[in-house]
Each structure stands twice: as structure tokens, then as C-alpha cells.
């Protein structure tokens, strides 16, 4: 494996007092929080949907998904639009910190005691100097039922646009 293939680029963001990262290849864009259309009957962590240049994007509040303390959106709050296993979603995060590069040697398996989040969503932990970045597995962020529900909502909203 060449040194280039051994480098992982990720978008790092903050949530509560921890820093998280997702592969940059899964991120489409980062936007300010627009008006979110709430949809009744959705799981508690799905805020609703937004219309982003004609595309209906389901919005997931990661604080709610991970059962973290809730807080009001601020000037720094962003939506990370990303591909979660074939479903395009928006992730509400407290702030985006940077685009970072990590070598394979800087990534370890996730020790279970490092975070309060259910380990099924995690793919590892990246070491960036003295900072630790928790790496999320977006494909596991939504369960099968949630994924099907979101696909139906997006189809229904596309028909009404």
C-alpha cells in the first residue's frame, strides 16, 4: 500500500465536549442551518427535512441521536450534508473545526470507555497530537426501519416540490 492510500481525510466537527470526524469522501457540503420543515411521526432525533437546491434532505440532530444534552443552535451550528450508506442526510453539529488528514497509524479501534455514545456508530478514534477525534460510521447511524422511513419521506416530499 502506498503512503497516499494510507492517508485518511476527514471532516472534523464538535458535538458537546467531544470532537468527531467523518470521511471527507462521504461529505457533500457544509451549510448554515436553514429553516427545517418538521415531519410528524419521525423518530425523535430526526428534526425534519430541508430543501437544498431542489433536493429534499432529512436532518438528523446528532445530539438527540447520541442522547447528549440539548442546546440551542448558535452562529457556529452547521449541517454536514453527507452520504450515510446510500441515503443523503444532513447532520446538525455544534461547529465544524477542520478538514484533517490522518495516517492509518493514527487511527485506533474505539475503546468502549472513551465516549458515552453507543459504540455501534463508531469506527475508531483518531489521534491528532493531544486531541482525540471519534470517527463515525455513517452507514450505521440509521437503522433499517429509520432508513426506509426516511426514503419514503424524501419520495413523498419530492412529489410535492
Residue 114 located in a structural domain: yes
Quick: pLDDT tens for 6-35: 888 999 999 998 999 999 999 999 999 999
- CATH code of the domain covering residue 131: 2.40.50.180
Beta strand residue intervals within the chain, DSSP E: 7-15, 18-23, 27-32, 46-52, 55-61, 78-84, 87-93, 95-103, 107-108, 122-128, 131-136
82: in domain = yes
Number of domains within the chain: 1
Question: What is the pTM for the complete model shown?
Answer: 0.84
Cβ neighbours for 61, distance < 8 A, ≥ 6 positions apart: 45, 46, 47, 92
Phi, psi of 104 (to 5 degrees): -55, -35
The answer to whether residue 1 is domain-embedded is no
Question: Does the pLDDT value for residue 144 go beyond 80?
Answer: no
Containing structural domain, residue 75? 7-154
Q: Report yes or no on 11 lying in a domain.
A: yes
Cell matching residue 121: 456508530
* Region 128-147 average pLDDT: 82
Amino acid at each position: 500500500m502506498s503512503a497516499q492510500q494510507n492517508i485518511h481525510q476527514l471532516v472534523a466537527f464538535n458535538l458537546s465536549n467531544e470532537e468527531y470526524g467523518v470521511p471527507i469522501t462521504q461529505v457533500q457540503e457544509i451549510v448554515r442551518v436553514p429553516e427545517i420543515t418538521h415531519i410528524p411521526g419521525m423518530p425523535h432525533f430526526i428534526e425534519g427535512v430541508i430543501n437544498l437546491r431542489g433536493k429534499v434532505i432529512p436532518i438528523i440532530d446528532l445530539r438527540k441521536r447520541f442522547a447528549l444534552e440539548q442546546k440551542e443552535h448558535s452562529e457556529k451550528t452547521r449541517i454536514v450534508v453527507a452520504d450515510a450508506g446510500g441515503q443523503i442526510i444532513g447532520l446538525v453539529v455544534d461547529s465544524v473545526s477542520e478538514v484533517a488528514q490522518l495516517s492509518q497509524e493514527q487511527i485506533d479501534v474505539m475503546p468502549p470507555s472513551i465516549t458515552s455514545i453507543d459504540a455501534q456508530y463508531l469506527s475508531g478514534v483518531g489521534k491528532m497530537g493531544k486531541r482525540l477525534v471519534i470517527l463515525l460510521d455513517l452507514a450505521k447511524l440509521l437503522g433499517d426501519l429509520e432508513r426506509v422511513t426516511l426514503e419514503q419521506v424524501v419520495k413523498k416530499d419530492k412529489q410535492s416540490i
